[in-house]
Chains A and B, each alone.
Chain A
Amino acid sequence: MFRPDNDGELWRGLGELSMIGLTLVFAISIGVLVGWWIGKKLGSSTAGIIIGFFVGSIAGFREMFRTVKRYNR
């Protein structure tokens, strides 16, 4: 569990932890947008969205678990 020693560390920690949710949102959004764009160029935006969605989700979850692990140490 994250235990801050002082106020500065507390706010920095809270800020970084609140980034976890944003990381997932941005990773999925960027994955879908890039996937859609590449898919459109190649002729199938739907396939691009699907691939981008899964790549974004994997990236987002990976980053989320890394952040949580870092704070658990």
Chain B
Amino acid sequence: MPEIRWELLTPILIMTGTALLALVVDLVVRSKKTVAGVACLGTLAMSASSYLLLSGLVEPQNVFGEMMLVSRYSLFFNMIFGASTLLVILISIRTMERAHQHQGEYYMLILLATVGMMLMASANELIMVFLGLELMSLCLYVLAGFFPRDLASNEAGMKYLLLGAFASGLFLYGIALIYGNVGSTNITEIAPQLPRIGESPFFLVGVVLLIVGFGFKVALVPFHQWAPDVYEGAPTPVAAFISAGPKAAGFAAFFRIFADALNGISGEWLMLVAILAALTMTVGNVIALVQSNIKRMLAYSSIAHAGYVLVALTAANGDGVSSAMFYLFVYCIMNIGAFGTVILAETKDSETVQIRSYAGIGFRRPLLGLLMTLFMLSLAGFPPTAGFIAKLNVFKSALQAHPQLAWLIVLAVLNAVVSAYYYLRLVVFMYMREPSEPLRFLPYNSWSLVAVLLSMIGVLLIGILPSFLMEQTSVQLFM
């Protein structure tokens, strides 16, 4: 039996322990804020242990035989998941207090979904990727339909479950076909076999089915149909969560398999991925232009951002992977910040989800207007925000690796220009339109405000001083 180096598993063990502890604390304490506090502390401890391991790790280490690979790559993704989960827990507190139901279970599901994401990022086996994917997805299906009396939430949960089940099925078919050709599901054993099996049509079908499976999970066009309905119907903190961590986890596994294991046959899938990236960016941005509901707009925006991340995969080298890691970190922070601002804009009766309802907010609620403007500018990619540096990195890495893909970069830049229209439209509404009826906003919730302010600091700090984060993401392909 191989020796297990438990210290390398500390982040996963902390997260799993915190999830179980949250459930127990929920049973014995009356104040549900304590459960959220436990979840926050556990997430912080996980992020800190990941950072400590990342600082000291030189070579990637196999754990549980060769089932998992703890590397700088997987540990950095742990920190992305940690940041996303922490921010989501903070913006969830008021929503859950108002809902008065199953608060302990809510935080436990969020934490267990995070464990699933961590397993995906550190998986060295296709089976382990699938296990992580399912652990994450099952929690997310429940979270999307968490308010059973709300029809929209029910519909979101059901749609996500059905389409998520398709995605899992497609992914499994892909794994089965690859196993049939390679004779193993170990990711590191695929690359050496490529000269023998790279031309096999059934192996190629397996590769394409993996792309489709991941395409569903990270909402690439044409597999994106679930995203707007789920984001609109799910509770806003859950929509923020689905748009951030799970997307990063999907990309972590996607990059691990394609930029590493299948790099030898990149000629076969590169153009397909480039076309999917082009379609995803364009369709996401164009449909976002006509949205009147801010949650749907952010859903299409997140589809478009998946397209930008996919551009980094076309580089298929260390620079591309690093730029994608940087992009995903920034994207998670700014997107949760935007959703958090939507939560801060809650009125006494309901959430403020119609874009026209934001008319005049800029002057009546100056802090809210300022925060929303900052996140919109960052999502659009304006300097000096983090969104600008992130886009620049991705485009630069793709162009340097494959100058023949210049058309994709030109299209991505054009898309960024198009996206500025709908992001800035919200800013125009906030500062240049008069409200049709006076809205009675609730006072700011301090926890949500802390989360949004943390996001704001992150977006500005990374935008002005990106070098620290860049150092952490500089990996020699999954080291």
CB within 8 Å of B: which residues of A? Answer: 20-21, 24-25, 28-29, 32-33, 36-37, 45-47, 49-50, 53, 57-58, 61
Are the CB atoms of A49 and B209 closer together than 8 Å?
Answer: no
Query: Can you show 11 pairs from A to B with CB atoms below 8 A apart?
Result: A20-B166, A21-B169, A25-B169, A28-B212, A32-B201, A46-B268, A46-B272, A49-B204, A49-B272, A53-B208, A53-B272
Q: Which residues of B contact A37 (CB under 8 A)?
A: 201
Of all A-B residue pairs in the complex, the 8 with the closest CB atoms, nearest first, are A32-B208, A29-B205, A21-B169, A21-B166, A32-B205, A50-B272, A36-B201, A25-B173
In the complex, A73→B173 CA distance in Å? 31
In the complex, whether B165 has a CB less than 8 A from a CB of chain A is yes
In the complex, whether B371 has a CB less than 8 A from a CB of chain A is no
In the complex, A46→B173 CA distance in Å? 21
In the complex, whether B379 has a CB less than 8 A from a CB of chain A is no
B156 shortest CB reach to chain A, Å: 16
Q: Which residues of A contact B271 (CB under 8 A)?
A: 46-47, 50
A9 shortest CB reach to chain B, Å: 21
Q: Which residues of B contact A21 (CB under 8 A)?
A: 165-166, 169-170
Q: Which of B208-228 contact A (CB under 8 A)?
A: 208-209, 212, 222
Q: With A46-B271, A61-B222 as given contacts, are A25 and B204 in contact (CB-CB < 8 Å)?
A: no
Q: Which residues of B contact A46 (CB under 8 A)?
A: 267-268, 271-272
Q: Which of B237-294 contact A (CB under 8 A)?
A: 267-268, 271-272, 275
Are the CB atoms of A25 and B201 closer together than 8 Å?
Answer: no
In the complex, A47→B222 CA distance in Å? 18
Interface readout for B149-192 with A: 1 if CB under 8 Å, 0 if not?
00000000000000001100110010000000000000000000
Q: Which residues of B contact A57 (CB under 8 A)?
A: 212, 222
Q: Which residues of A contact B169 (CB under 8 A)?
A: 21, 25
Q: With A37-B201, A49-B268 as given contacts, are A28 and B222 in contact (CB-CB < 8 Å)?
A: no
In the complex, A46→B165 CA distance in Å? 29
Residue of B nearest to A45 (CB): B268
Q: Which residues of B contact A36 (CB under 8 A)?
A: 201, 204
Q: Which residues of B contact A33 (CB under 8 A)?
A: 201, 205
In the complex, A29→B222 CA distance in Å? 16
In the complex, A47→B271 CA distance in Å? 8
Q: Which residues of B contact A28 (CB under 8 A)?
A: 170, 208-209, 212
A21 shortest CB reach to chain B, Å: 5
Given known contacts A37-B201, A47-B271, what 8 new A-B pairs fall within 8 Å (CB)?
A: A24-B166, A24-B170, A25-B170, A28-B208, A32-B204, A33-B201, A46-B267, A58-B222
A46 shortest CB reach to chain B, Å: 6
Are the CB atoms of A50 and B204 closer together than 8 Å?
Answer: no
Q: Which residues of B contact A32 (CB under 8 A)?
A: 201, 204-205, 208
In the complex, A37→B200 CA distance in Å? 11
Q: Which residues of A contact B166 (CB under 8 A)?
A: 20-21, 24
Q: Which residues of B contact A45 (CB under 8 A)?
A: 268
Most chain B CB within 10 A, of A21, A45, A61, is at A21
Q: Which residues of A contact B272 (CB under 8 A)?
A: 46, 49-50, 53
Q: Which residue of the partner chain, among B209, B222, B275, contacts A25 with CB atoms under 8 Å?
A: B209
Residue of A nearest to B274 (CB): A50
Residue of A nearest to B208 (CB): A32
Residue of B nearest to A44 (CB): B271
Q: Which residues of B contact A47 (CB under 8 A)?
A: 271
B219 shortest CB reach to chain A, Å: 15
In the complex, A29→B208 CA distance in Å? 8
In the complex, A34→B271 CA distance in Å? 18
In the complex, A24→B225 CA distance in Å? 15
A54 shortest CB reach to chain B, Å: 8
In the complex, A35→B165 CA distance in Å? 27
Q: Which residues of B contact A24 (CB under 8 A)?
A: 166, 170
Q: Which residues of A contact B201 (CB under 8 A)?
A: 32-33, 36-37
Q: Which residues of A contact B204 (CB under 8 A)?
A: 32, 36, 49
In the complex, A29→B177 CA distance in Å? 11
Are the CB atoms of A50 and B275 closer together than 8 Å?
Answer: yes
A19 shortest CB reach to chain B, Å: 12
Are the CB atoms of B173 and A49 closer together than 8 Å?
Answer: no
Q: Which residues of B contact A49 (CB under 8 A)?
A: 204, 208, 268, 272
Residue of A nearest to B216 (CB): A24
Are the CB atoms of B267 and A29 closer together than 8 Å?
Answer: no
Residue of B nearest to A28 (CB): B212
Interface readout for B194-205 with A: 1 if CB under 8 Å, 0 if not?
000000010011
In the complex, A45→B204 CA distance in Å? 11
A26 shortest CB reach to chain B, Å: 10
